[in-house]
Structure 1
Amino acid sequence: MARKVFVTSRPWQEAREEFLRTLRANGYLVELPAEEIDVTRALGRVTAAPVYAAISSPHYPAAAMDGIAVRAEATFTAGEGSPLELALGREAVTVDTGDPIPEGFDAVIMVEEVAFKDKGVAVIRRPAVPGQNIRPVGEDITAGELLVPAGHVLTPYDLGGMLSAGVLRVAVRPRPRVAILPTGTELVPPNPSPAPGQILESNGTMLAGQVTLWGGDPRVYPITPDDYRLLQERLLQAVAENDLVLINAGSSAGRDDYTAGLVAELGQVLTHGVATRPGKPVILGVVAGKPVIGVPGYPVSAALCAELFARPVIYYRQGLKPPRRERVRAVLGRKIYSPLGREEFVRVRLEKGGDRLVAFPTSRGAATIMALARADGIVVVPRLAEGFAAGQEVTVYLLRPLETLEGGTSSSQGQEE
């Protein structure tokens, strides 16, 4: 039976854990599917099974240098004072890098160490040793060798290695399909001349970008006005076509906020409201065994809720643990005041102050998307704290790579969510 609750004091960590536990219990995060695709299209995909080499690389003895292939034993008399002449085609064979070594030859002398005379004669002044400048079979990869394990995010180098080992197809986890449903009668497509009261729909693209960075396949649906039956129809369509649904706006308790009622009618509402600022009215539910998240309409709230609740679902759906967040220590340039009862996520800019980083809080409004775009990191104020004093050292969770920050430092640590 669906539970209709609006508990604003619930810790977000508790809500998320129940959400993930429910998804695991119904097999959504356990019975993961797989698909086979061409290796050439597999960049960034997650392997569903170990990948083994089909052939060795190289699969034949190959010249490692341009030069001449020789029988090493026949060159032992060569020296600076006693140059050795070799007949090309019989005692030596010209080879280029990557060429097969002719049968009966066991060394390659670099072209820089060879003088060529008329009538097909090569002159050398240094003996060769067996195996010199030859890549043996399997020098790089041996047939049957494990190339990458299951649950591995494929890099450009992995793709090159698999192709070199004769692997043309690879089993991967499908990218989670994520439906993004912008809702609200006041929303209009982005344009340079909106009328008073019209709001340009931008959250869909922002959320789609987040989903893409986390390995998902976002699909932004057309704007749905505040019509209960139409939204119901659109939600059912999105659930049928996707693995995860984000309903943007309509998650609060206003007259036209239908999301909680719809999810409860069609499935189960696990949480309606968490003790965070911003992002309080988030909805976590399940419809037809699939997660549905109602994210608030303000862009900063939407981004935070997607980060806290959609991000782990998307990673776990691919068989991955959410990666650790990079963090640094900094001192506050200004006091942060925060009311008791809600965990607050405060955006900050970072500046170098002597030998330390200084964090300056930016605008804290949930509607100020540019404050988020320009922020370097987030400072989290615990629910039972009233803030931090100026000059206090705090942990900053970075929104951009540390090396891109002006005056950045290398004293970062990993933090798993």
Structure 2
Amino acid sequence: MTATWPRPAPEPEPGLPSGTADPARVPADTVAAEPVGEAFRTWMRACALAGWSARLGTETVAVTAARGRVTAESIRARWPVPAYRAAAMDGIAVTTTGTEALTGAGPGTVGLSPEHFDRVDTGDPVPEGRDAVVIREQVTITASGAAELSGPAVAGRHIRQVGEDIRAGAIVLPAGHRVRPADAAALAAAGHASILVRRRPTVVILPTGDEIRPVGTTLAPGEILDTNSIMLAGMAEEAGCSSETLPIAPDAPGDIAVAVATAARTADLVLIIAGSSAGRDDHTSSVVERLGRVAVHGVAMRPGHPVVLGVLGGADDTTGGNRENEPDGAGLHAWPGAPAVPVVGIPGYPASAERAFTCFVRPLLYRILDTGAARVAEHSVPARLAGPVVSAEHVDEYVKVRLARVLAPGTGHLTLVAVPLPRGAGALTTLVQTEAILRIPAGTNGYPAGTTVRPVPVDGAAFAAATTIVTGLRSPATDTFIELLRADLPGSAVHWQSCPADDAVGALADGLCHAAAVTIDSVAGRPDEQLAAALVDRLGPITLLELARIGAQAEVLVVPAAAFDSVPVEELRTALSSMAYRRALHEVPAYTGRNAGHETWHGPPEHPEETTPAVSSAPANGATQCATR
């Protein structure tokens, strides 16, 4: 085996920009396109031309039922909180004015007769004339009822003044605020039993397709469960709306039109699932055109390209709202005069459906609710790419990623690393396992490994949960190991990126992975010292975790010694030393797992290991320090 550690500087990936600059800083000659934003603005202009208004009515709800609702006006406190001077701690209330013994802190204790203090608990009113509370831990009540203080009393200490939390008349919540549990408690404390909120938008969801079946159905070949409706209804409710899912409509334009027109009579927004592409059974665009107007059909984004954005009913800028030829006895709108209702044709693939909702439906719902969420930019976090990401320049691409914290051997610092997930639009498991979304804007063809990017964490996701990143060798032994790891973990929790040994060690040195899988020669049952020394020169102190032996070579995981006890490495060590892994290796031809999990520490000769190893070998002069655990 030939090894060339440390490796030379890598050449830039073909088709990727060189360097590791922040992708937010695009060169001046880069295409400055924003397909998603422009499509949304085009849709909003079409809705406005049709006479649609984002403002809905209001309603009054009890504070106890206000969680998740959006305030329709600024809400002011009816009274101060607290409404009286309150004790902030358990103890005694005293008067410091004119009492030299209380204001001067001398050695020993200070005694007070019973008439000079009042016992108080947290939240009790402070009696008039008392201006300080001495905490219970500094007070001893004697048998005579006197109080002995072991510390000074300071005027104003441990007393909550009137209005200290909320002043009477102060704004407790602004208009357009989504009420949280703590907000509801503050409103109640400020004197409100009910508040005025914006009416929840009603989102009506129409699944379509001859092959779509309700959840709970026993499927025949070629049939698909209606899972998109569940996801979209939940996303709508999370955004602050009420949702209704209609029965599945067959791939017949007339049936879809009747269902859509009926839905529009009670809906503030209609979502039509599937049928938005250009296949023989894709009728969404023609139905929307028949009942209103298509503003956008297809957006340069991935996933979610076939999305349809339109408006039902309302005034038509080309006909002045006159649609005398439209049937009004078959359940369709009675033209003219039908109110304008936005409509979205949602692509059928789950990942495309999620992206269409996130990019278009949710911003519209926030606009209807006029919530502050629409005005707050999504909070991104800096992370480095574990591997290169390639994207087409003509589209906005939204890449789902997992996040992991990785120790960089050179600096000893933990960094956040983003691992791209598979991009199949039909993969529900990818949606479940996604921790953040990385947008690659149009005009950019991707980023090389190590680039600092800014993905946006997904609400409720297991942020930086337990993703373990390994780069390097793929072999029958490593495949067996991966299968064992993933038996009890989500598939995305173990990211094993195949690459040459030089690149794997470089990624480990750069802090882009937790371990590097490589093959090294074995001399008398021990790793080749020359190769081990080369690894130490590149990485500093390391531990080699043996995967398996094949002939005179060992397949090992290289981990920085500083990360030896980290959670990801601990999981690797535990799995390697398990009997389940050794038994599984018995089925792999030519491999032996007798020493699987064997751990060997290697460090620079001038920095021997501080702790005494269980087994050690005395190195020759200048050799790499080595110890076996």
Instruction: Give the TM-score, by structure 1 length.
Output: 0.81
2:391–2:397 CA contact under 8 A, matched in 1: no
2:141 match: secondary structure:
strand
After the TM superposition, which of the residue ranges 173-182 and 305-314 deviates more from structure 2? 173-182
1:50 and 1:28, CA in 2 relative to 1: closer, same or farther beyond 3 A? Answer: farther
Out of 58, 70, 76, the position equivalent to 1:52 is 76
Out of 425, 428, 440, the position equivalent to 1:369 is 428
Whether 2:211 is the aligned partner of 1:176: answer no
- Give structure 2 stretches of 5+ with no counterpart: 1-32, 313-338, 409-414, 469-629
The structure with the largest alpha-carbon Rg is 2
After superposition, where does 1:185-264 map in structure 2 within 5 Å? Answer: 185-191=210-216, 193-264=218-289
1:68 and 1:239, CA in 2 relative to 1: closer, same or farther beyond 3 A? Answer: same
Out of 186, 191, 201, the position equivalent to 1:166 is 191
| CA distance in structure 2 between the aligned counterparts of 1:358 and 1:151, rounded to whole angstroms | 36
Q: Shift of residue 237 of structure 1?
A: 2.9
Q: Shift of residue 285 of structure 1?
A: 0.9
2:60 match: secondary structure:
strand
2:55–2:369 CA contact under 8 A, matched in 1: no
Q: Shift of residue 300 of structure 1?
A: 1.6
1:69–1:105 CA contact under 8 A, matched in 2: yes
Residue deviations 1:4-33 (CA, integer Å, cap 9, x gap): xxxxx9944322111123345667555343
| Aligned counterpart, 1:304 | 355
Structure 2 letter corresponding to 1:19: W
After superposition, where does 1:271-310 map in structure 2 within 5 Å? Answer: 271-287=296-312, 288-310=339-361
2:133–2:158 CA contact under 8 A, matched in 1: yes
Out of 52, 55, 71, the position equivalent to 1:31 is 55
| CA distance in structure 2 between the aligned counterparts of 1:204 and 1:187, rounded to whole angstroms | 11
1:25 and 1:406, CA in 2 relative to 1: closer, same or farther beyond 3 A? Answer: farther
Residue deviations 1:78-119 (CA, integer Å, cap 9, x gap): 6877854524xx554333222223345444443444443456
2:404–2:418 CA contact under 8 A, matched in 1: yes
Instruction: Kindly report the root-mean-square deviation, in angstroms, between the aligned alpha carbons of the 2 structures.
Output: 3.4
1:43–1:155 CA contact under 8 A, matched in 2: yes
Out of 371, 374, 397, the position equivalent to 2:455 is 397
1:68–1:108 CA contact under 8 A, matched in 2: yes
After superposition, where does 1:61-140 map in structure 2 within 5 Å? Answer: 61-73=85-97, 75-77=99-101, 84-87=111-114, 91-118=116-143, 121-125=145-149, 128=153, 130-140=155-165
1:258 and 1:96, CA in 2 relative to 1: closer, same or farther beyond 3 A? Answer: same
Q: Shift of residue 158 of structure 1?
A: 2.3
1:159 and 1:276, CA in 2 relative to 1: closer, same or farther beyond 3 A? Answer: same
Q: Shift of residue 259 of structure 1?
A: 1.8
| CA distance in structure 2 between the aligned counterparts of 1:377 and 1:70, rounded to whole angstroms | 56
| CA distance in structure 2 between the aligned counterparts of 1:272 and 1:303, rounded to whole angstroms | 17
| CA distance in structure 2 between the aligned counterparts of 1:102 and 1:358, rounded to whole angstroms | 58
| CA distance in structure 1 between the aligned counterparts of 2:177 and 2:112, rounded to whole angstroms | 54
1:293 match: secondary structure:
strand
Q: Shift of residue 129 of structure 1?
A: 5.2
Structure 2 letter corresponding to 1:372: L
| CA distance in structure 2 between the aligned counterparts of 1:316 and 1:239, rounded to whole angstroms | 19
| CA distance in structure 2 between the aligned counterparts of 1:286 and 1:185, rounded to whole angstroms | 25
| Aligned counterpart, 2:569 | none
| Aligned counterpart, 2:398 | 345
Whether 2:446 is the aligned partner of 1:388: answer yes
| CA distance in structure 2 between the aligned counterparts of 1:352 and 1:115, rounded to whole angstroms | 52
1:294 match: secondary structure:
strand
1:10 and 1:275, CA in 2 relative to 1: closer, same or farther beyond 3 A? Answer: farther
Structure 2 letter corresponding to 1:314: L
2:77–2:168 CA contact under 8 A, matched in 1: yes
| CA distance in structure 1 between the aligned counterparts of 2:68 and 2:51, rounded to whole angstroms | 24
Structure 2 letter corresponding to 1:38: A
- Give structure 1 stretches of 5+ with no counterpart: 1-8, 409-417
1:28 and 1:35, CA in 2 relative to 1: closer, same or farther beyond 3 A? Answer: farther
Q: Shift of residue 70 of structure 1?
A: 4.0
| CA distance in structure 2 between the aligned counterparts of 1:248 and 1:297, rounded to whole angstroms | 6
| CA distance in structure 2 between the aligned counterparts of 1:138 and 1:34, rounded to whole angstroms | 30
| CA distance in structure 2 between the aligned counterparts of 1:365 and 1:315, rounded to whole angstroms | 29
After the TM superposition, which of the residue ranges 274-283 and 106-115 deviates more from structure 2? 106-115
| CA distance in structure 2 between the aligned counterparts of 1:175 and 1:291, rounded to whole angstroms | 15
| CA distance in structure 2 between the aligned counterparts of 1:398 and 1:130, rounded to whole angstroms | 49
Residue deviations 1:254-299 (CA, integer Å, cap 9, x gap): 3332222222222221122222333222111111312100111111
Q: Shift of residue 59 of structure 1?
A: 1.1
| CA distance in structure 2 between the aligned counterparts of 1:396 and 1:115, rounded to whole angstroms | 58
Structure 1 letter corresponding to 2:382: V
1:96 and 1:219, CA in 2 relative to 1: closer, same or farther beyond 3 A? Answer: same
| CA distance in structure 1 between the aligned counterparts of 2:437 and 2:243, rounded to whole angstroms | 25
1:114–1:122 CA contact under 8 A, matched in 2: no
1:399 and 1:61, CA in 2 relative to 1: closer, same or farther beyond 3 A? Answer: closer
After the TM superposition, which of the residue ranges 195-204 and 349-358 deviates more from structure 2? 349-358
2:34–2:441 CA contact under 8 A, matched in 1: no
Structure 2 letter corresponding to 1:388: G
Residue deviations 1:112-143 (CA, integer Å, cap 9, x gap): 44443456x32334674554533222222221
Identity %: 39
Whether 2:180 is the aligned partner of 1:155: answer yes
2:383–2:454 CA contact under 8 A, matched in 1: yes
Q: Shift of residue 314 of structure 1?
A: 1.1
Structure 2 letter corresponding to 1:62: A
Q: Shift of residue 248 of structure 1?
A: 0.3
After the TM superposition, which of the residue ranges 125-134 and 187-196 deviates more from structure 2? 125-134
Q: Shift of residue 249 of structure 1?
A: 0.8
1:75–1:84 CA contact under 8 A, matched in 2: no
| CA distance in structure 2 between the aligned counterparts of 1:26 and 1:297, rounded to whole angstroms | 27
Out of 306, 314, 339, the position equivalent to 2:365 is 314
| CA distance in structure 2 between the aligned counterparts of 1:335 and 1:62, rounded to whole angstroms | 59
Out of 380, 387, 390, the position equivalent to 1:336 is 390
Structure 2 letter corresponding to 1:305: A
| CA distance in structure 1 between the aligned counterparts of 2:137 and 2:418, rounded to whole angstroms | 59
| Aligned counterpart, 2:64 | 40
Q: Shift of residue 52 of structure 1?
A: 0.8
| CA distance in structure 1 between the aligned counterparts of 2:139 and 2:388, rounded to whole angstroms | 72
| CA distance in structure 1 between the aligned counterparts of 2:260 and 2:356, rounded to whole angstroms | 19
Structure 2 letter corresponding to 1:153: R
| CA distance in structure 1 between the aligned counterparts of 2:169 and 2:126, rounded to whole angstroms | 24
Q: Shift of residue 42 of structure 1?
A: 2.1
Residue deviations 1:344-388 (CA, integer Å, cap 9, x gap): 434444556664666555433322222333344445455556x43
